[in-house]
């Protein structure tokens, strides 16, 4: 099946710094990618939809200036958490549309810990 990778898998940073997370589709092209955040014992929450060649679409309540998304190519989307704070600590997962309608291929996730 299609593979989506994420890098890094885990990152620890100091409060106030910025962190960049990469999401790549390894064997297919993705004009659209999705970014989710998952807190412990909570469901996946869609943060934004990344569109190649255009601006990302953010969900209500997600600060676009804090969570910068760039879809640089048909196989790469990046999420930058700017001026990270401890409350940004979470599991961030990206995905791309799957073979069947409404399904998605998920990346392995990135665990962010902000100290």
Partner 1 sequence: QKEVEQDPGPLSVPEGAIVSLNCTYSNSAFQYFMWYRQYSRKGPELLMYTYSSGNKEDGRFTAQVDKSSKYISLFIRDSQPSDSATYLCATSTGYQKVTFGTGTKLQVIP
Shortest distance (Å) from residue 99 CB to partner 1: 9
Cβ neighbours of residue 79 closer than 8 Å, sequence gap 6 or more:
20, 21, 23, 35, 47, 67, 68, 69, 92, 94
Shortest distance (Å) from residue 31 CB to partner 1: 12
Asked if 60 interacts with partner 1 (CB under 8 A), we say: no
Nearer to partner 1 (CB atom), residue 14 or residue 41: 41
Asked if 80 interacts with partner 1 (CB under 8 A), we say: no
What distance in Å separates the CA atoms of residue 1 and residue 19, rounded to the nearest whole number?
29
Residue 105 CB neighbours (<10 A): 19
Q: Considering only residues 2 through 21, tell me which ones interact with partner 1, judged by CB under 8 A.
A: 4, 6
According to DSSP, the β-strands at 19-25 and 4-7 are antiparallel
Residues of this chain that interact with partner 1 (CB under 8 A) are 4, 6, 32, 34, 41-44, 46, 49, 91, 93, 95, 97-98, 100-109, 111
């Amino acid at each position: 099946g299609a593979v989506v990778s994420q890098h890094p898998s885990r990152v620890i940073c100091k409060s106030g710094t910025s962190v960049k997370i990469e999401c790549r589709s390894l064997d297919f092209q993705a004009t659209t990618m999705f970014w989710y955040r998952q807190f412990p014992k909570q469901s996946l929450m869609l943060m934004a939809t990344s569109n190649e060649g255009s601006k990302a679409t953010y969900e209500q309540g997600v600060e676009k200036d804090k969570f910068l998304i760039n879809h640089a190519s048909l196989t790469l989307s990046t999420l930058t958490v700017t001026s990270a704070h401890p409350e940004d600590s979470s599991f961030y997962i990206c995905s791309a549309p799957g073979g069947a309608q409404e399904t998605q291929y998920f990346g392995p996730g990135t665990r962010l810990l902000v100290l």
